[in-house]
A = this chain, B = another copy of it.
Amino acid sequence: MPPGKSPATISDVARLAGVSPGTVSKALNGRGALSHGTIARIQQAAEQLGYQPNALARGLLAGRTFTVGLITTDSFGRFSIPVMQGAEDALGPGRISVFLCDSRDDQIREQHYLRTLLERRVDGIIVTGRRQDPREPIGSDIPVPVVYAMTSSTDPADLSLVPDDAEGGADAVRHLLSTGRTKIGHVTGPRSFLASRLRTQGAEETLAAAGLELATGGPLYGEWTEEWGRQATDALLRAAPDLDAIFCGNDQIARGVADAVREAGRRVPEDIALVGFDNWEVIAAACRPPLTTVDMNLRELGRIAGEELLAAIDGHPSAGIRRLPCTLVLRESSRPRHAART
């Protein structure tokens, strides 16, 4: 079909096959009772014309569009992309397409997209972001289900899915303890992030349960950057020369720490073990040595968001904040002392 010509309609197919439009619909959708020959004739006609049913007309009639909207404040960054892919994993098999909107953290854009999505009669909406700190709901009285993923709504009647950062922090520290480390420092991002505070909390509680505390008595809050990781390392090594492990709030910090530790003449992991957070492949794998880190399983989180949205669309909504488990990914940077190199 050359551009310019409008696509074939069901009537075109009907005419070519010598039947009525209704019959074509039945043949192509397997409804009603039609003779074998007629079905074949119709299928062939449809094929010949390259007929594809108009989803607009279909949606108009069915009252649903098999489309969901995904609004992200993260500009499709490192966090929202896996969430999106997970959502697609859940929705794709049900033949549901995802409409993507990048609000770029702008209220106006967000409201504009919300309106656009509702005008297009999406069956549901997923809202995702870069941080899990609670945010205002995108709107009130929205006529379709909404699920928040990797961000959370201040309205407890909404369903929000977030990683269990506290448990992730606890996992990291438990792992370090299990490799025999006890003098553990903690360098992380801004205190203003709920995620930093939760990770720190999980780490401190785990240490406390073992009768220990953070090497410097508390976390070093700073930026999510390598630069901060390097700076913090200098401070940490000065304050606690007998340090034997550092738990970092994200992988970038950890990488900075790794470089600074090495350049200070200490070995990772022999002298100081390192654990990061995020499992950002490009950072964690390129780190020297490769970084043990906590994976937030964002794709799985997105998948569950998709499934929950489907359930809500089918009339089984959930509510509240659900914290999904993180997974520790073991690499070289926290290898137990004296363990054989693989």
Interface positions of A (Cβ within 8 A of B): 1-3, 5-7, 50, 52-57, 59-60, 63, 65, 67, 75-77, 81, 84-85, 88, 97-102, 115-116, 118-121, 141-145, 225-227, 252, 255-256, 259, 282-283, 286, 288, 317
Contact between B97 and A141, CB atoms less than 8 A apart: no
Contact between A97 and B76, CB atoms less than 8 A apart: no
Contact between A99 and B102, CB atoms less than 8 A apart: no
CB distance from A63 to the nearest CB of B (A): 7
Known interface pairs A97-B116, A144-B3, A227-B286; A54-B84 also in contact (CB < 8 Å) = no
Known interface pairs A56-B60, A85-B75; A286-B145 also in contact (CB < 8 Å) = no
In the complex, which of the residues B1, B67, B76 contacts A81, with contact meaning CB atoms closer than 8 Å? B76
Separation of A266 and B48 alpha carbons in the complex (Å): 68
Chain B, residue nearest A77 (CB):
B81
Contact between B57 and A60, CB atoms less than 8 A apart: yes
**CB-CB nearest 6 A-B residue pairs:** A100-B100, A55-B119, A1-B143, A55-B120, A56-B56, A226-B286
* A53, A56, A142 — most chain B CB neighbours (10 Å): A56
Contact between B101 and A99, CB atoms less than 8 A apart: no
Contact between B2 and A141, CB atoms less than 8 A apart: yes
- Interfacial chain B residues near A54, Cβ < 8 Å: 60, 119, 121
CB distance from A147 to the nearest CB of B (A): 12
- Interfacial chain B residues near A120, Cβ < 8 Å: 55-56, 67, 97
- Interfacial chain B residues near A50, Cβ < 8 Å: 141
Contact between B63 and A60, CB atoms less than 8 A apart: no
In the complex, which of the residues B52, B121, B225 contacts A115, with contact meaning CB atoms closer than 8 Å? B52
A/B interface sample: 14 pairs, CB < 8 A:
A1-B141, A1-B143, A2-B143, A3-B144, A7-B121, A56-B57, A77-B81, A84-B102, A88-B102, A98-B100, A99-B99, A100-B100, A252-B282, A259-B288
Contact between B76 and A142, CB atoms less than 8 A apart: no
In the complex, which of the residues B7, B88, B145, B259 contacts A3, with contact meaning CB atoms closer than 8 Å? B145
- Interfacial chain B residues near A119, Cβ < 8 Å: 52-55
Chain B, residue nearest A58 (CB):
B119
Contact between B99 and A97, CB atoms less than 8 A apart: yes
* A5, A59, A256 — most chain B CB neighbours (10 Å): A59
Contact between B121 and A55, CB atoms less than 8 A apart: yes
CB distance from A137 to the nearest CB of B (A): 13
- Interfacial chain B residues near A282, Cβ < 8 Å: 252, 282-283
CB distance from A142 to the nearest CB of B (A): 7
Chain B, residue nearest A315 (CB):
B4
